[in-house]
Structure 1
Amino acid sequence: MSDIISGSDPSVIESKSNFDSGRISDVKAWLASQFDAAGKDVPDFEYTPRTIAHLHNLSTLSQAKTQAAGIVATDFRQKAAEYRCQAARVREILENVGLAQEGLPSNVVASAQCLANVANLLNTRDTELSSFLVAMGDMSLRKTGVEEKRAKVQKESKILLDYTRKAIARLTYLKRTLAQLEDDVAPCEAQMENWKTNLAIMVSKERQYLQQYSNYKALLNRVGYTPEISHGVLVEMAEHRKDLEKKTKPILDTLRSYQDLPPDKALAALAIEDKKRQYAAAEKHLEDVLHSALATSE
């Protein structure tokens, strides 16, 4: 940074310092004039570049406005002097023709004053009838414009009032709904807790049923269960078994009756062989029926 400063142009640095000192002197002079006009002393503060720039802008703006106000005031004073001269000339003319204000009746003075007030109200340059007519027309136009704006504003106010009423009704409904919902919070929370408890129980039961299903499936696989062995097949096989039991029961009764006969080894052997053949035929018939039932189910 020092290299930059040392390498800069000395003339630029000198002009900048002169410019800053000139600004500070201008600001001090302006502050002194302002506080002297108010009858107070200038307070002490630090003159930084930021404050100097801000105060310099304020002083420039204030001086410009003061100059403009002085010009306007000079113009007003000049106009007032011209009006006073014109008033004196008009008063002199009126006195010469015998129409001075002191010599006029009170009602004439009151009428003239009323006429002047109306002229001032209508902002007319003179008291000619044409000026009054133009002013009245302008006032009528402004009255019409004001009435139109008033009607528009009343219409908008009516619309806004309608919107406001609807908004108040909706707000009341929302407040009532909110109060009802707040009243329903406690029962709903209790019901939610009940549902959570039931859900936990159902989850536990689901895990239990899934475990039982897995156990039953493993058991069925272990005993060799296949989907072909359905309930209908088992019922059909049971019915065939009952039929075979009915058919084999007389044979078993006959065999049991042979137990009461006197022992004859040859006849007993023949009878046993005969019953064995009949029993083997019955078993073969049962197997055939079972195989046919299984084939039918497939």
Structure 2
Amino acid sequence: MSEIGGGSDPPSPPLSVTSSEASKSSGTGFDANRIAEVKAWLVSQFDAAGKDIPDFEYTPRSIAHLHNIATLSQAKTQAATIVANDFRQKAAEYRSQAARIREILEHVGLVQESLPSNVVSSSQVLASVANLLNIRDTELSRTLAQLEDDILPCEAQMEHWKTNLAIMESKERQYLQQYSNYKAMLNRVGYSPEISHGVLVEMAEHRKDLEKKTKPILDTLRSYQDLPPDKALAALAIEDKKRQYAAAEKYLEDVLQSALATSE
């Protein structure tokens, strides 16, 4: 309960985790256990802060709230203790490693006190950059090797993109050439922007109307194509047609009379 003590929570007596089972058998005993646990926790917290415990009204509601706070505080204290122990262990390992490295440097004559100030400052800057870049191994050669390994797939991807770009540029030139050819072709046939699909459809419908209107006239003209251009020859042709018509009528009458005679 760091809000009360102003610091990290000291270890406090563990709270009962089987109080729910006890409450089923005896509600009075359960309340008494909770009150005892809460009081013990409050004593540990205020004693650690050097303060007196204020007067509390121990109602079921206040006991429930204080018990929840105590449980949460103990869980956080336990987690913080685990993290602190881990940090202490890592610090001990780092101190041991630093001692070994210092011993090695002393053997080769590279103690920090014997190095120039610019070398010390440069090494400190290098260490800061390594920590900033999250590079645990500060050897430049290994870092560059790792970067080279990372570059290989990027270069392969770049080559793929270059190939696709070359294909797209070739297609672009091809389409531009086709566009120029089609434009020149339309100019040769007299195409203008006013000639559109809708205009062509209207012209086709108008053509059909004209054909429908001129069909009777064309049929009449075709009937006169067999007539000779001379008037006298035309009169002779008419007389010849009349004779053919009379001969056909006479032939029909003869056929009918012959048929009637045969039937009688």
TM-score range with shorter-chain normalisation? 0.3 to 0.5
Name the larger-Rg structure. Answer: 1
Question: Normalising by structure 2, what TM-score?
Answer: 0.44
Question: Normalising by structure 1, what TM-score?
Answer: 0.39
Name the structure where helix makes up a greater proportion of residues: 1
